[in-house]
Chain A
């Protein structure tokens, strides 16, 4: 509709470019974390992650191997051969070099430096060098030289090994990962079940006080979590649950319920009345109608709430800190572990970025796989 004659091409281009810019702006931060998690700590602190995608220039000082041990006779004089890079798959490419700190880029690769009185030095692109001269020249300390090289992008999975599989790493994420999973799964399933029955009653059963209850659910939807912290902690201590998984499950169930009931009721109310009434005429009880008709039909709504609750419990920090993690720290979750890392190792970016990426990777997978349901849930919850 926007394509008024004559204006289409310029405006369409502007739209495409703006969208590309927006997407880049939104992806850039996460990309930084992902790329950083594949770099060594040395790389991370020596250059920005955006530079790691292209070859980078490094300058370094080297010294030829000790001539007294390594020289071999070469015609009238001697020579020393060696290589500055270990044989690896990716070796930096030398672009220029020099033998004095005042002119570290005096020579190109392949050129031979004349060090006076017949002494020469040359270096190849792959870092192998040859140093020639007479007996006196090729002695004492090895010749000093400087190189400027182009280092190809290099990435490593060592960080992930360290964070996930290193037994000696006390800041490891494996335990926290499983703890998070242990919190998340029951805390996602139980509220769905409870809410589904309640939503059915609120949408298809007649009883006094129904609209009052619905209003109460809508009201509780916005009650801040913060209010519940002390009273519930006190309650949990009084009835002997204390801090632990049970408390966290119950808390997540309670806090997730208003949203669950609200979403599911909105969906169930829209189901066709005929089906339910026909089933009643045929003699089905409410319980049968619910289990055999309503539940299967409500699958999209159930799925969308499940995703919400999963993301919410997986990403939660506050509930875990208040109701779950005790002083032993055995039940720590990933978000808590990351906050600890932020505090103690403010600059340890390779561990931090890897740990953070481990924690956000699961929600990201769920997000991309189930985006359809997530969007549907959002829409039924907000737009009426």
Chain B
């Protein structure tokens, strides 16, 4: 069958199925199981209302359970078993093997580098862009352009930046802007940027900073607008200059939002995969955990090792997870 038709059919079946599930299950509850009539009308209404939330929640709970909660436990189990031995329990052997792997430590090291650089730069650029665009007439247009990379896939961004980092032999015209500028400002020979260890990590990070800055800008700009005018006015009257106003009055008031932006980008960074996969595939010392894991799983077919690497990623997001839940509970009280 034509995939487009199949897709259409699935939309109809999926959407129709969902709607009819919700409709029919509610009808069943009200008309058949606990009808609000007869001698037990009051009791039936109460019972129906106790059950109803679970009808509404059932599909979501199933999907969340199967697609997110179960895999966490299953991955943990897989990480201590060996597929080659028919899934026998091997304890920490997978982890021990992984800790002996230089590539793993390279990935961990790079991930920490990403964690240091990308959230910091994205937030800083985002804050700068938010503050600068806030009070000029064409600010919204400028914002739209800085925000635009959010819509571009990591793979698309990888192509875009591969063109920027492109290298041609010295006797030809450079078509990558970076080499063209480098030669223009006195470089001796064009450089294959993505193969210089350590620095190539930064060239990959720039791609993510380029994408995430818009996100930081949008949120921080809203936060800046929420600052009470009086505080700024008071500072002006007291003779503060624009820089003092920005750093001493505004930043402290939006520090909460800065933390939220920072952690959100941190989570994106921890899962970063597509950029590295498409640009260097972890060669030249640019490996990161998510790509290391993909390597183990689908190239080396090593499920135990891959699961162990996945658990390390999980371990790294756990503090954020706990902090988020803590905040959410505080908010509800």
Contacts and interface: CB of A to CB of B under 8 A. Distances in A.
A375 B242 CA distance: 28
Contacts of A16: 136
Secondary structure at the A interface, as helix, strand, loop or mixed, is helix
A65 interface: no
Nearest to A22: B129
A194 B325 contact: no
A339 B278 contact: yes
A315 B317 contact: no
A12 B134 CA distance: 12
B114 interface: no
Contact of A47 (B156, B158, B175, B218): B175
A255 B271 CA distance: 14
A216 B328 CA distance: 10
A285 B26 contact: yes
B242 A360 contact: no
A339 B277 contact: yes
A234 B68 CA distance: 14
Contacts of A210: 53
B148 interface: yes
B50 to A, nearest CB: 7
A197 B241 contact: no
A153 to B, nearest CB: 16
B180 A48 contact: yes
A285 B60 CA distance: 21
B219 A227 contact: no
Contacts of A231: 70-71, 74-75, 78
A306 interface: no
Contact of B163 (A36, A202, A261, A311): A36
A228 interface: yes
Contact of A11 (B11, B151, B156, B242): B242
B264 A382 contact: yes
B317 A223 contact: yes
B72 A223 contact: yes
Contacts of B93: none
Nearest to B2: A178
Interface string A202-221: 10011100110111111111
A314 B153 contact: yes
B238 to A, nearest CB: 12
A130 interface: no
A18 interface: yes
A383 B14 contact: no
Given A195-B60, A201-B57, A368 B6 contact: no
A224 interface: yes
B19 A193 contact: yes
A227 B71 contact: yes
B173 interface: yes
Interface stretch (B95-103, B139-147, B195-203): B139-147
B106 interface: no
A230 B78 contact: yes
A190 B175 contact: no
B331 to A, nearest CB: 7
A235 B66 CA distance: 9
A231 B297 CA distance: 12
Nearest to B215: A378
Contact of B260 (A201, A261, A364, A383): A383
A60 interface: no
Interface string B289-319: 0100110011000010011011101100100
A159 to B, nearest CB: 14
Contacts of B157: 29
Given A182-B6, A315-B154, A222 B14 contact: no
A70 B99 CA distance: 79
B10 interface: yes
Nearest to A254: B67
A191 B257 CA distance: 28
B121 interface: no
Contacts of B146: 22-23, 26
Interface stretch (A74-82, A83-91, A111-119, A349-357): A349-357
Nearest to A307: B151
B110 interface: no
A371 B144 contact: yes
Contacts of B321: 219, 222-223
Given A4-B242, A178-B3, 8 more contacts: A186-B11, A222-B324, A227-B311, A250-B63, A254-B63, A254-B68, A255-B67, A257-B64
9 contacts: A11-B242, A48-B175, A182-B4, A190-B15, A230-B307, A245-B7, A246-B10, A322-B298, A342-B159
Q: Considering the complex of A and B, which 5 residue pairs feature the smallest CB-CB distances, nearest first?
A: A254-B67, A315-B153, A198-B60, A367-B151, A231-B74
Interface of A: 1-2, 4, 7, 11-12, 15-16, 18-19, 22-23, 26-30, 32-33, 36, 44-51, 178-179, 181-183, 185-186, 189-191, 193-195, 197-198, 200-202, 205-207, 210-211, 213-232, 234-235, 245-246, 249-251, 253-255, 257-258, 261, 285-287, 290, 311, 314-318, 321-322, 331, 335, 338-339, 342, 349, 352-353, 356, 359-360, 363-364, 366-368, 371, 374-375, 378-379, 382-384
